[in-house]
C-alpha cells in the first residue's frame, strides 16, 4: 500500500512538471466529410466474374473511370499549446469511414459493374501544429501520423442494368487490421482541411481463396492488384470546447452569461 502511495505521488509530480510547460489545454470536436477520387484502377485482376442475365461473365478493370467516394469522420481531439502560443501537440480518437471504387467491364463492355469498398474504423492521431497566436486566432498548419484500427469492410456492387445495389460485409482476413496514415493540413478558425496519405491499401493483398474445387483447386489473390499510395481529403468543422468558442460567437457568449446568472 505504501509503495502504491509513493508511486502515485511521483506520478502526480511528473504530471504537474510536464503540463506546466503548456499554456492552453482544451478539447476540440471535429466532424466532417472524407473525399476520395482519382484512384488508380487495379493493375490486374484474374478470375473476376459478374453475374448477368446471360450467366457469369469474366470482367476486366475499366481503363477510364472517374470515381468519387464520400465518407465521414467524427473526432474528439485534445490540444496542448506551447507557452509562446506558436505551436502545440494534438492527440485524440476518431471514427472514420472512407473507400474507393473500381469499374469492371466484360469483353464487349455490354455489362459493367462498379464495386465500392468502404473501410470503417477508429483512428488514433498524433500531430504537431504551428502558427502565430494559435489559441487566440485558431489559425495554424498541422501535420503528423494517425494509427488506424480497421474494424469492418463493406462492399457495394452495382451492375449497369440494375437500379439496386448489392451490399456485403467482408471477412476479417480480407482487410488489414491496422495501418498508419500520414496527414498535413490547415485550420482556419472552425474550418479544417486535411490531406491524408495511405502508403498501403487497406485490402489484404495476401488474402487467398479457392475459385476452383477441392479436386482441382485454383487459388487466387483477388486484391493483389489493387492500387497503393492512396490520397484522401478531409473537410471538417473543428470546434474548440473552450472559452475561445464563446468569445468568437456572440450568441454562445450570451447563453453562457445567462447560465452563469441563473446559478
Q: What is the pLDDT of residues 91-112, one digit of tens each?
A: 999 999 999 888 888 888 788 8
Q: Please state, rounded to an integer, the average pLDDT across all residues of the chain.
A: 82
Question: Distance between CA atoms of 192 and 106, rounded to whole angstroms?
Answer: 42
Scanning the chain, the segments in alpha helix (DSSP H) are 2-19, 134-137, 243-248, 250-261
Task: Give the residue from 2, 44, 48, 39 showing the smallest Cα distance to 198.
Answer: 39
Percentage of the residues of the chain whose pLDDT score is greater than 70 = 81
Give the pLDDT confidence of 70-83 residue by residue, as tens digits: 999 999 999 999 88
Check residue 249 and give its pLDDT: 59
pLDDT digits (tens, 9 = 90+) for 156-166: 999 988 878 88
Backbone angles phi, psi at 251, to 5 degrees: -65, -45
The C-alpha cell at 113 is: 459493374
- pLDDT > 60? residue 208: yes
Q: What is the pLDDT of residue 14?
A: 41
Q: Give how far Cα 263 sits from Cα of 241, 255, 258, 259, Å.
A: 21, 13, 9, 7
Domain positions in the chain are: 20-261
pTM of the predicted model, to two decimals? 0.79
Amino acid at each position: 500500500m505504501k509503495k502504491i502511495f509513493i508511486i502515485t505521488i511521483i506520478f502526480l509530480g511528473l504530471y504537474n512538471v510536464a503540463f506546466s510547460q503548456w499554456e492552453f489545454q482544451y478539447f476540440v470536436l471535429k466532424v466532417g466529410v472524407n473525399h476520395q477520387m482519382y484512384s488508380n484502377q487495379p493493375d490486374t485482376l484474374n478470375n473476376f466474374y459478374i453475374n448477368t442475365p446471360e450467366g457469369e461473365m469474366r470482367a476486366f478493370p475499366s481503363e477510364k473511370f472517374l470515381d468519387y467516394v464520400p465518407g465521414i469522420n467524427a473526432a474528439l481531439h485534445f490540444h496542448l499549446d506551447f507557452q509562446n502560443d506558436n505551436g502545440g501537440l494534438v492527440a485524440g480518437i476518431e471514427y472514420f469511414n472512407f473507400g474507393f471504387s473500381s469499374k469492371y467491364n466484360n469483353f464487349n463492355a455490354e455489362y459493367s459493374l462498379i464495386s465500392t469498398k468502404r473501410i470503417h474504423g477508429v483512428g488514433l492521431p498524433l500531430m504537431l501544429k504551428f502558427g502565430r497566436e494559435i489559441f487566440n486566432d485558431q489559425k495554424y498548419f498541422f501535420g503528423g501520423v494517425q494509427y488506424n484500427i480497421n474494424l469492418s469492410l463493406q462492399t457495394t456492387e452495382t451492375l449497369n442494368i440494375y437500379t439496386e445495389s448489392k451490399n456485403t460485409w467482408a471477412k476479417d482476413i480480407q482487410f488489414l487490421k491496422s495501418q498508419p496514415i500520414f496527414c498535413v493540413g490547415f485550420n482556419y478558425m472552425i474550418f479544417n482541411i486535411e490531406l491524408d496519405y495511405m502508403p498501403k491499401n487497406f485490402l489484404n493483398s495476401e488474402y487467398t481463396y479457392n475459385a476452383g474445387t477441392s479436386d482441382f483447386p485454383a487459388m487466387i489473390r483477388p486484391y493483389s492488384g489493387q492500387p497503393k499510395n492512396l490520397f484522401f481529403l478531409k473537410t471538417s468543422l473543428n470546434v474548440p470546447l473552450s472559452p475561445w468558442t464563446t468569445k468568437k460567437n456572440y450568441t454562445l457568449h450570451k447563453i453562457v452569461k445567462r447560465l452563469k446568472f441563473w446559478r
